[in-house]
Amino acid sequence: MRSDLDTADGLLRHLREQAQAAIADIRRLVYDLRPPALDDLGLIGALAQHAASCSTAGGLQVSIDADPGLPALPAAVEVAAYRIAAEAVTNVTRHAAARTATLTLTTSDGMLRVDVTDDGRGVSQVHRAGVGLTSMRERAEELGGSCSLTPRPGGGSILSARLPLAGPLPTPPPAQPRPATALDSAAVPVTAADAGS
């Protein structure tokens, strides 16, 4: 009888651990889809919160300069802008040895412009894109935008992303074959005499 209780207790402990892991996975997936801070604080507030968490007393200072007339953004653009900007600021924190970084959000010509500039070590000539930069580029390109990392004049680097304000650009439908007509050479019957010429 004791062995059955021990077995049941072990199974319950295992099930509890699996349930907690599943809940953590679901929370991570939900966060990956849309960070809760975007709903709670809006894009600028969520980025300000992230910038504050990356700033340190006597170390890196991250500031935000956002266009006060920033329009309401489609959800996909807002999430991409947040993810790109947050990753760029995180990269400055980890790799740039910078004293200051500025995150700028502006709009022009139907595009949201996300720029992160820093005064750190800059980008080397043999710089290879890592996972973070590749991810930022892919996020921008999925929406029909672009993302690049360039050296900043005077030292440091500039990450620039451009995202269409209209959201993801529509994918054109696949070409449909059109029915053959009498004017198409494929629709004209070939006779034995034509084939020999």
For 110-177, where are the E strands, in sequence order?
111-118, 146-151, 157-164
Q: φ, ψ for residue 43 (rounded to 5)?
A: -60, -50
Tokens standing for residue 81 = 């802008």
Tell me how crowded residue 19 is: count the other CB atoms within 10 A of its CB. 10
Q: Are 88 and 98 in contact (CB under 8 A)?
A: no
pTM strictly above 0.95: no
SS3 call for 150: strand
Please state which architecture CATH assigns to domain 43-164.
2-Layer Sandwich (3.30)
Residues 6+ apart with CB under 8 A from 29: none
Strand 157-164 relative to strand 111-118: parallel, antiparallel, unpaired? antiparallel
pLDDT tens, the chain, 197 aa long = 678 888 888 888 888 888 776 665 565 554 555 788 899 999 999 999 999 999 999 899 999 999 888 999 999 999 999 999 999 999 999 988 999 999 999 999 999 999 999 999 887 766 566 788 899 999 999 999 999 999 999 899 999 999 999 866 555 556 565 555 444 444 433 344 444 44
